[in-house]
Amino acid sequence: MAAALERVVRDADLRRDLVERGRGRLADFASPRVAERLHDALALADWVLPRERRRQVTVLSSDQRCGIHHYSLAVCEGLRANGHDVTFAGVRHLETAELYRAAKHIARGEVVLVEHEAGIFRDVPFVRVLLDLKRRGHEVVLSLHELEPEKFHHYRRLSAALHYRPRFSWIVEALRIPWVALRIFNWFVRYRVVLGLMGSLPDRLVVHSSRSAYWLDMLTHDATKRDLMPLVLTPLEGTAAPRTAEEKRALRERLGLPQDRFVFVSPGFFFPRKRFLEVIAATPEDALLVLSGTRSERDPEYFDQVIAAAGGRPNVRVNTDYDTMGDFVAAADAVVLWYEDVFQSAVVTQAIWAGLPLILSPTPGFRLFHGAGLVAREADELRRHMDAIRDPETLERLHRGVSILRRMLAPERLAPRYLVGLD
CB 366 within 8 A of CB 345: yes
pLDDT tens digits, residue range 228-241? 999 999 999 888 88
Assess whether pLDDT exceeds 70 at residue 331.
yes
Report the pLDDT averaged over residues 399-407: 95
Confidence of residue 52 (pLDDT cuts 50, 70, 90): confident
Measured distance CA(129)–CA(131) in Å, rounded: 5
So what's the pLDDT on residue 312?
Answer: 83
CB 283 within 8 A of CB 316: yes
Assess whether pLDDT exceeds 70 at residue 8.
no
CA pseudo-torsion sign 106, 197, 54, 408: positive
Strand partners, 162: none
Assess whether pLDDT exceeds 90 at residue 323.
no
Q: Which of 143, 140, 183 is nearest to 164 (CA)?
A: 183
Report the pLDDT averaged over residues 380-407: 95
Measured distance CA(124)–CA(126) in Å, rounded: 5
Confidence of residue 37 (pLDDT cuts 50, 70, 90): confident
Contacts of 192 (CB under 8 A, 6+ apart): none
Of 99-108, 155-164, 197-206, 236-245, the least confident: 236-245
Report the pLDDT averaged over residues 51-57: 85
So what's the pLDDT on residue 311?
Answer: 87
Of 68-72, 171-175, 194-198, 285-289, the least confident: 171-175
The model carries a pTM of 0.86
- Return mean pLDDT, the chain: 92
Confidence of residue 261 (pLDDT cuts 50, 70, 90): very high
Assess whether pLDDT exceeds 90 at residue 299.
no
Report the pLDDT averaged over residues 370-386: 96
CB 423 within 8 A of CB 85: no
Strand partners, 319: 292
pLDDT tens digits, residue range 78-137? 999 999 999 999 999 999 999 999 999 999 999 999 999 999 999 999 999 999 999 999
Assess whether pLDDT exceeds 70 at residue 227.
yes
Report the pLDDT averaged over residues 270-289: 93
Measured distance CA(48)–CA(40) in Å, rounded: 9
Assess whether pLDDT exceeds 90 at residue 174.
no
CB 325 within 8 A of CB 301: no
Measured distance CA(334)–CA(283) in Å, rounded: 12
So what's the pLDDT on residue 48?
Answer: 75
So what's the pLDDT on residue 332?
Answer: 95
Q: What domains can you pick out in the chain, each with its CATH number?
A: 56-229 (3.40.50.2300), 245-410 (3.40.50.2000)
CA angle at 154 for the pair 152 and 155, rounded to the nearest 5°: 65
Measured distance CA(357)–CA(406) in Å, rounded: 12
Assess whether pLDDT exceeds 80 at residue 5.
no
CA pseudo-torsion sign 59, 122, 198, 211: positive
Backbone φ and ψ of 297, nearest 5°: -65, -25
So what's the pLDDT on residue 27?
Answer: 80
